[in-house]
Amino acid sequence: MCYEAMMLLLCSLLIFFGSLSGVLVTGDVVNVHLVPHTHDDVGWLKTVDEYYYGANNSIQHAAVRYILDSVVDELSKNKDRTFIYVEIAFFVRWWSEQTDDTKQKVHELVSNGQLEFINGGWCMNDEASTHYNGIIDQMSIGLRFISNTFGVRPLVGWQIDPFGHSSFQATAFSLLGFDSMMFARIDYDDKAKRLSSNNLQTIWKSSPSLGSIADIFTEELYQHYSPPHDFCFDIKCSDPPIMDDDSLYDYNVKQRVTEFIGYALDQAKIYKTNNIMMTMGDDFQYENAREWFENLDKLIKYANMNGSINVMYSTPSKYVKYVNSNKDVTWSTKSDDFFPYASAPHSFWTGYFTSRPALKGYERLCNAHLQACKQLEAIHNGLGDQGPSSIELQRAMGVAQHHDAVSGTEKQHVADDYAKRLHVGEVECRSVIATVLNDLAAKGSNVPKMDLSFCEYLNISVCPVTEGGDFSMVVYNSLGRPYTGMVHIPIMKESILVTDPDDIAVPVQVVPISNVTKSMSLVVTGNASAEYVAVFEVTDVPPLGYAIYTGKTSNGDYLEYTQQSSVINNVKEDVTISNKYYEVEFDGESGHIKSITNTVSGISSSVSQQFFWYNASTGNNIDTQNSNAYVFRPNSSTTFPVDSGDNYAEITSVTGELLSEVRQVFSPWVSQVVRLYKNIPAIELEYTVGPIPINDGLGKEIISHFTTDLKTDSTFYTDSNGRDMQKRVRNYRPTWTYNNTEPIAGNYYPVNSRIFIRDEEKNVQFTILNDRSQGGASITDGSIELMVHRRLVVGDGAVGALNETGMSGDGLIIRGKHLLLLDNVDNSAHTQRMMAEELLMIPELSFTFNDGIKLEDYNLKYSGLSAPLPDNVHLLTLEYLDQSTILLRLDHQFESNDPGKWSTTIDVKLRDLFVAFTIKDVTELALGGNVALSDIKKLQWQTSTDETVPGPFNPPPVAGPDFIVSLSPMMIRTFNITVEPKIN
């Protein structure tokens, strides 16, 4: 009894000091870090609002506000208890409702380490269908809230639910100043190998260009993110509680403790130190935190009396520090990513790379709106407390990055809610844009404001302003370099006069609107009055600036200023369209692309493009797994042409001086326009797909398939969230043996920006750029396919069938773009980055009727920069924080293995760069904009190759008077710049 009493006292002391002082137990005793947590999706089966308030509980019982209420109360009762919270979108809502007393209590809990923020983003973002711009933004708004409110910063990336993990995500976490990254979902074979080789922990070397500064300690959770089996103490669980009243017949302490210690010791066998972590929580748990914590208190108390393990309340950051304290351990490294994710032999989660393509496209479009909105806010030095702002769209975009949002894996009414939130934020940002553009354009305070409107349906040739009379168009360019591109404006007549900001008439080509576009206009708007589009070039629109073009249509015949298009319908012979960069030849018999020639480099390739569909599996006698919002599983490797099997597209050729195009109609529900513009070094493919027919009871996964004569040796390349390119080899994984159970789905990867194949011997690269996230692959040598749309007849049991019916109710229609490049490897490296940047940051077009407007009263051109940025530098962020502070991010957008001209370190002088303000001081921050870079002190790890990582992040200082920023390949640098607005 004396020994037991001493052991109880010793273990109690270990619990106390282990949880509060961080004392590490060494020797054979296993430190068991219990991490109480809840995983709160910001939308999935229910909307964000429904999850927060507990509405619609017939779908799923979940109420986040009560989770936070309950947890805060229970933490306050026992200073040993800990809890982590992740989704700041929910926490901010809850925080705004609390009394001063409750806020003070929370401050104390955060200060003493009981309540710890982990990850810290607005949401736990998806990693496959997100762009790095969106990931950084959503992390920033959450991290800045935490820093501004509590003066602390998260130290651990907590991506426990996303369905695969990208290299850029790891890079971002390292640049955020995190010490580690943890996740739960990796391929089942990868997981099995890591378990058998004690390798759940590794150093992820995520960016060859950035090197060791991007390295991060990474841990795959032992058992998803749930508690050990039989140790869930939530109100939703049925596991037996710990009943420690020995007068009761159901007294079970010995049984429960023995079982728990067994789990702990089994888990400990997998790890290299005597520390293990157990995630004590799950989706939307702790609504009754008392039940959880009282059972955990007992579990800690009685398990520690045994003496073989040391159980403590902990957090991931405390756990990582304990692991790191063992300096005798060396860690393996990994340099590829964790895509694709498969949970079982026939369950490859590659369908969500494409699911809900309309939402994916809208999210990407809203990112462009948001960046322009934030830039103009900064240029204007804010719009005042009562004015419109970018906050609404920032938060909507933050929610949209969630791993059940842009991923397309949510229920339909939740997808509708995401889109509505984006639209509400977009409308307010349009007010910002219109207000600032008016203020910049007006030469005096008495000049009437332009009544600017934004044509949401330009992609289907609907814009009431341009169809109804004389107008002005403001083109805002959010790039850090001048923009030249083509604009399509719907008009009623065949003639128009367009003048540039210097009042010089610009060439215009008038093109008849296709029947496909007219039918879409009728479905979406009920209006298809325009008969033509006026196509013209906007040239050298200033960086971070605008140019105003005018159009006259109503007061005369302007045929002398317009070029008519030559239109040939139902072409039955070979057709070639060309510009000064490319020739594209079409086969008259099939109507398909036949060959592409780059006339500048002299490179030519036979290229065939066609739309096919895979028959979506509903399960078979091998496995019941079906194709659903998450999983792509075709019934077989066979593809079916969308043209009902006759392998034919009806084509129409449209040619002219500025634009030549071939319109292809493959079937009543698939068409495409292949375009060449006079001065653009890319081939544009604008596809229209839908409604996908399912009357035959077959789910269909639609692909755009390209076949070339390139020898590619099973290799292709895809981007990582728009950043580093990732080498992919068909039917191969670099760190474990691939089991080829799904030859199509298992070779699909996320494509956010571009995919390409190379013929190394010929030095030829074929690249496809896309305007939204899609799944892509190279199933046979020389080929690329991108999935553009999906419609399924069965679901996954939770989300239901991915059967989007669209506005018509007959099925969703998608219109999107691909850009094709065929060139040598060096030229492709530059062109693909420039074109991808332009696809991402498309210019903002706003319109006003010219009635009552005297153009001489307006500044028709404005640049926000005194000089353009170099091509290899992207202005990633310019964001107003307060009247004297602006957040600035500059981004080197080339990799270290790109041609030397573009991959060199580049300097940017900030002094006098911005026209609207003078820079007084510059403070460099971590990527999230929440902490000074000089305050980051990261844990060091020893790799098995005898390297200490991460390497020091000591970029050249940015000091006055010139404030020169030096950028190496793939580097993103973040600053708070103290500014003084210039008087206009």
Active site residues: 161
Q: Which two tokens stand for residue 720?
A: 């990582």
User: Beta 917-925 vs 725-729: how paired, if at all?
Assistant: unpaired
594 close to 605: Cβ distance less than 8 angstroms: no
Question: d(Cα 736, Cα 421) in Å, to the nearest integer?
Answer: 42
Nearest to 755 by CA among 770, 743, 745: 770
- Which one-letter amino acid corresponds to residue 288? N
Question: d(Cα 735, Cα 732) in Å, to the nearest integer?
Answer: 9
Question: d(Cα 427, Cα 443) in Å, to the nearest integer?
Answer: 26
Q: What angle is formed at CA 828 by the lines to CA 826 and CA 832, rounded to 5 degrees?
A: 135
Q: What angle is formed at CA 133 by the lines to CA 770 and CA 126, rounded to 5 degrees?
A: 80
Question: d(Cα 784, Cα 774) in Å, to the nearest integer?
Answer: 12
Contacting residues for 447 by C-beta, under 8 A, at least 6 apart:
857, 858
Tokens 């109100």 correspond to 235
Nearest to 976 by CA among 928, 926, 934, 924: 924
Question: d(Cα 404, Cα 126) in Å, to the nearest integer?
Answer: 7
Question: d(Cα 31, Cα 134) in Å, to the nearest integer?
Answer: 38
Q: Where are the alpha helices (DSSP H) in 866-950?
A: 900-903
Question: d(Cα 684, Cα 547) in Å, to the nearest integer?
Answer: 24
331 close to 362: Cβ distance less than 8 angstroms: no
Q: Which two tokens stand for residue 887?
A: 């957040």
- Which one-letter amino acid corresponds to residue 750? P
Question: d(Cα 440, Cα 420) in Å, to the nearest integer?
Answer: 30
Question: d(Cα 310, Cα 15) in Å, to the nearest integer?
Answer: 7
User: Beta 83-85 vs 115-117: how paired, if at all?
Assistant: parallel
322 close to 273: Cβ distance less than 8 angstroms: yes
Phi, psi of 296 (to 5 degrees): -65, -40
CA torsion sign for 724, 718, 941, 926 is positive
